[in-house]
């Protein structure tokens, strides 16, 4: 089995470090991707630190992968050597349940195979994109259109689709007032995408420290949630609120900002349970829901939409040796707006 260089966590408490891992031999429908860039998602941090439950170590995180195809199995038809491709949060699913048939592989009834920390169909623990190469079945490999730089495209594979999917599902577009809570990796993509869809976009951030950035990214309005007046001023305003916050928030306060039949969609995944008051849902009638990444077809649709609208992530490219520092900066909300690992530094 091919051995490749990677960066791994060996426990919930220790820093990540260099680690050689093995990838499976190329099967008939497999694609070998030379990873060029991999984004750092807050989910990587939740996972390696055991915040969502016990993890298995060593664990190589990374599910925002962009690279070049360097090998294909004999039966591969969708990709060819030299193609620019991406891999997101899923590397397989059963392919045969009602969710998979609907193109909602993220809701596969047998459970999709996560890009890291999951058990693949070969029985091996999957390892993610903080590595030089990955082997993935062709159906879960996306095409990165020409015109999107690979480094700025990498975060689209998670942050992009996770925000694109609920914006589409809940009708972000002309005439709709959309608020994005939290201006981090997901939040900044949500602002760009909602703006490109034609919505009137508001950022709700903890403070006004990133206001200039928020407006540059495409927001029409920007408010600080630390200021209680924000909640009075904006009561009953929004058709859609997308919550990207990685920590617990006061759901009742955010629900109060929705108009009749407005929806609050949570994509942020704090380890602690969220709670709400039933009256927040019916005075007036409102929707509270969640959203998990997006299916393969919609991920490709999102990549094509981004190419058409010239949308990439705002990134800070780092060498692998800075991964642990980057984690601390993400936790301090000091990220503008996605760290992306240059995987050539793993060699
Ligand atoms: P991130 O870059 O750290 O952004 C999160 C933002 O939330 C921060 O920039 C900050 O924005 C705000 N925030 C952080 N702590 C806060 C607190 N205590 N109170 C209020 N606001 C706070 O993280 P990310 O990579 O965008 O991920 C965000 C969340 O989405 C994570 O929980 C991640 O696991 C989850 N996620 C879910 C899915 C899914 O499919 N549902 C997919 C990917 C990620 P401001 O500084 O602007 O306030
Ligand atoms: Zn992610």
pLDDT in tens, 135-188: 999 999 999 999 999 999 999 999 999 999 999 999 999 999 999 999 999 999
Maximum Cα interatomic distance, the chain, rounded to a whole number of Å: 62
* Ion ligand 2 nearby residues (CB, 5 A): 41, 43, 158
- Give the ligand with the smallest distance to the CA of 269: 1
Q: Which DSSP symbol is given to 37? A: E
Mean pLDDT of 320-346: 97
Residue 1 has pLDDT above 90, yes or no: no
Residue 234 has pLDDT above 90, yes or no: yes
Distance between Cα 159 and ligand 2 center (Å): 6
> Ligand 1 test: best mutation among 203, 244, 291, 329, most atoms within 8 Å of CB?
244
Residue 338 CA: nearest ligand 1 atom is 2
Pick from 294, 299, 295: nearest CA to 166: 294
Please report the pLDDT score of residue 235 as a whole number: 98
Distance between Cα 123 and ligand 2 center (Å): 23
Could you tell me how many helices (H) and strands (E) the chain has, helices first? 11, 17
**16-21 long-range CB contacts below 8 Å, 24 or more apart?**
16/48, 16/61, 16/130, 16/323, 16/324, 16/327, 18/320, 18/346, 19/58, 19/60, 21/58, 21/60, 21/127, 21/131
The answer to whether the CB of 19 is under 6 A from ligand 1 is no
Residue 331 CA: nearest ligand 1 atom is 3
Reported as a pLDDT band with limits 50, 70 and 90, residue 347 is confident
Q: 202-218 burial string, b = 16+ CB within 10 Å, else e? A: bbbbeeeebbebbeebb
> Ligand 1 test: best mutation among 164, 187, 226, 246, most atoms within 8 Å of CB?
246
The answer to whether the CB of 269 is under 6 A from ligand 1 is yes
Q: How far apart are CA 37 and CA 35, in angstroms?
A: 6
Q: What angle do CA 91, 96, 102 make, to 5 degrees?
A: 85
Please report the pLDDT score of residue 14 as a whole number: 95
The answer to whether the CB of 292 is under 6 A from ligand 1 is yes
Lowest-confidence pick of 79-83, 301-305, 343-347: 343-347
Distance between Cα 20 and ligand 1 center (Å): 30
Residue 335 CA: nearest ligand 1 atom is 2
Atom 16 in ligand 1: residue holding the nearest Cα: 247
Where is 123: in which H helix or E strand?
Answer: none
Residue 43 CA: nearest ligand 1 atom is 34
The answer to whether the CB of 93 is under 6 A from ligand 1 is no
Residue 211 has pLDDT above 80, yes or no: yes
Residue 19 has pLDDT above 80, yes or no: yes
Average pLDDT, the chain: 97
Please report the pLDDT score of residue 294 as a whole number: 98
Supply the pTM of this predicted model: 0.98
Locate 232 and state its tokens.
């009075």
Residue with tokens 């623990």: 125
- Give the ligand with the smallest distance to the CA of 89: 2
Please report the pLDDT score of residue 275 as a whole number: 96
Percentages (nearest 5) of helix, strand, coil residues in the chain: 30, 25, 45
Say what percent of the chain tops pLDDT 70: 100
Residue 323 has pLDDT above 80, yes or no: yes
- Give the ligand with the smallest distance to the CA of 338: 1
Atom 18 in ligand 1: residue holding the nearest Cα: 247
Q: How far apart are CA 31 and CA 79, in angstroms?
A: 8
């Amino acid at each position: 089995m091919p051995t490749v260089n990677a960066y791994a966590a060996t426990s919930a408490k220790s820093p990540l470090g260099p680690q050689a891992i093995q990838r499976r031999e190329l099967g008939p429908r497999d694609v070998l991707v030379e990873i060029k860039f991999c984004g750092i998602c807050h989910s990587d941090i939740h996972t390696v630190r055991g915040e969502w439950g016990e993890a298995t170590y060593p664990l190589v995180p990374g599910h925002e992968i962009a690279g070049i195809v360097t090998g294909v199995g004999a039966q591969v038809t969708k990709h060819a050597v030299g193609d620019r491709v991406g891999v997101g949060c899923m590397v397989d699913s059963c392919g045969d349940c009602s969710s998979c048939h609907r193109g909602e592989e993220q809701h596969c009834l047998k459970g999709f195979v996560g890009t890291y920390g999951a058990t693949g169909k070969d029985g091996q623990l999957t390892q993610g994109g903080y590595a030089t190469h990955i082997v993935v079945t062709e159906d879960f490999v996306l095409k990165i259109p020409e015109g999107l730089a690979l480094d700025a495209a990498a975060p689209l594979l998670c942050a992009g689709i996770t925000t694109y999917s609920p914006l589409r599902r809940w009708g972000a577009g002309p005439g709709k007032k959309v608020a994005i809570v939290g201006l981090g990796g997901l939040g900044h993509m949500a602002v760009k995408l909602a703006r490109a869809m034609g919505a009137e976009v508001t950022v709700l951030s903890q403070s006004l420290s990133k206001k200039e950035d928020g407006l540059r990214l495409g927001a029409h309005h920007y408010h600080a949630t630390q200021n209680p007046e924000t909640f009075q001023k904006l009561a009953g305003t929004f058709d859609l609120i997308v919550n990207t916050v990685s920590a617990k928030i006061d759901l009742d306060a955010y629900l109060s900002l929705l108009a009749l039949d407005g929806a609050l969609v949570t994509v942020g995944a704090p380890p602690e349970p969220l709670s709400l008051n039933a009256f927040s849902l019916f005075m007036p009638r409102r929707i509270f829901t969640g959203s998990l990444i997006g299916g393969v077809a919609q991920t490709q649709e999102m990549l094509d939409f981004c190419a058409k609208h010239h949308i990439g992530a705002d990134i800070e490219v780092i060498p692998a040796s800075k991964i642990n520092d980057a984690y601390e900066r993400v936790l301090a909300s000091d990220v503008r707006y996605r760290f992306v690992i240059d995987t050539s530094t793993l060699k």
